[in-house]
Amino acid sequence: MKDPLSRERKWRIPPSPPEVETFNVDKIPLIILFDNDGKEIGRVVENPHEQTLEEELLKIILEGFGG
């Protein structure tokens, strides 16, 4: 969906447009995982690459924390 007030902005999702830009949201649903320091360790966009969402999240967590 295009922002009717701006040609540059792709999404207009009130009340949180700043988060859309901050986290570079292009597609939804979107799950972003962060470590304890707030650094992004992975994301699942639309559909998991593994067979289930749980497997994909576990893979991201293990890779993000060196497991």
Q: Residue 19: what pLDDT? A: 79
Is 70 exceeded by the pLDDT of residue 2? no
How many CA atoms lie less than 13 Å away from 51 in the CB half-sphere? 0
Q: How many residues does the chain have?
A: 67
Domain ranges of the chain: 25-64
What are the residues whose beta carbons fall under 8 Å from the beta carbon of 60, sequence distance 6 or more?
33, 41, 42, 43, 44
What confidence tens digit (pLDDT) does each residue in 25-55 have? Answer: 888 899 999 999 999 999 999 988 888 999 9
What confidence tens digit (pLDDT) does each residue in 4-21 have? Answer: 666 776 655 555 567 777
Nearest alpha carbon to residue 45 among 26, 58, 18: 26
